[in-house]
Structure 1
Amino acid sequence: MNKEMNIDQHTLVDAWQKQLPEYLNPGDSAQVQADAANPQGLRIHINAAGHQFYSFDFQCAYMDPREVRVELVDVERDGQTIAEDSVQIQELTGDYVRHIHECAQALSSMTNP
């Protein structure tokens, strides 16, 4: 049975916006927004550092107060959607998914008091 979280989405977004950059690579930046379709969800946009101008959009939803499900929504390069099947994109996606899970763990004291 999934335990309900007793935290409002705005507070969650603020906490993620502060915490997530600590888990990203130097030079990466992230914007965290509420997922309008899911009160327990977040939309995470990450701009990758470097010369490729890659940006990643993830949907992050709390399954319970400790566990998140992360799905890649879109990858863009210089504003254009690109295929997600190259090795480099797969590796970057894997890294970002891991960082998002690490951030969720770091915030578990807030989501699972």
Structure 2
Amino acid sequence: MSKTDVLTIDQSELTQAWRQTLPTVLNESDQAEVMADEHNPSSLRIHIRSAGHSMYTFDFLVTYVDSREVKVELVDVEKADVTVDERNELIQNLVEDYIRHIHECAQALKKVTS
């Protein structure tokens, strides 16, 4: 019989833990909001405002595959409240960087989630 590794933490506790931890792995001047996903108790929505004058905002959907691993999906990129083409190289580099930080945050929260 195999034991399935599932996320058992309450979504509101998980959201709060992410709110406390994510800013510690992001660049100091970036701002992040973490919200519970209304459709999936194993998912969070992350909104990041990048630092500086770029005025870029990034929206990610973070879903726990199990108690340790997250799947991160880019939902939207905007500049000054207008959706932009996320295929440009600068934006791709920022997206990769934020995804790496989100995975770091998930790693840092393993003690809470498993």
Could you say whether these structures have the same fold, taking a TM-score greater than 0.5 normalized by the shorter chain as the test? yes
Partner of 2:54: helix, strand, or coil?
coil
Count of aligned pairs: 112
Equivalent-residue separation in structure 2 for 1:9 and 1:47 (angstroms) = 23
Equivalent-residue separation in structure 1 for 2:82 and 2:25 (angstroms) = 26
- The equivalent position to 1:87 in structure 2, one of 86, 89, 107, is 89
Partner of 1:84: helix, strand, or coil?
coil
Q: CA deviation at 1:26?
A: 1.9
Equivalent-residue separation in structure 1 for 2:49 and 2:88 (angstroms) = 18
Tell me the TM-score normalized by structure 2: 0.96
Aligned 1:70-81 pairs, distance under 5 A = 70-81=72-83
Change over 3 Å in CA distance of 1:86–1:6 after alignment to 2? same
State the match for 2:23 in structure 1: 21
The amino acid of 1:79's aligned partner reads D
State the match for 1:69 in structure 2: 71
Q: CA deviation at 1:2?
A: 4.2
Partner of 1:57: helix, strand, or coil?
strand
State the match for 2:51 in structure 1: 49
Change over 3 Å in CA distance of 1:18–1:50 after alignment to 2? same
- Contact 1:42–1:60 at 8 Å: present in 2 too? yes
Tell me the TM-score normalized by structure 1: 0.96
State the match for 1:8 in structure 2: 10
What is the aligned-residue identity percentage?
53
The amino acid of 1:67's aligned partner reads E
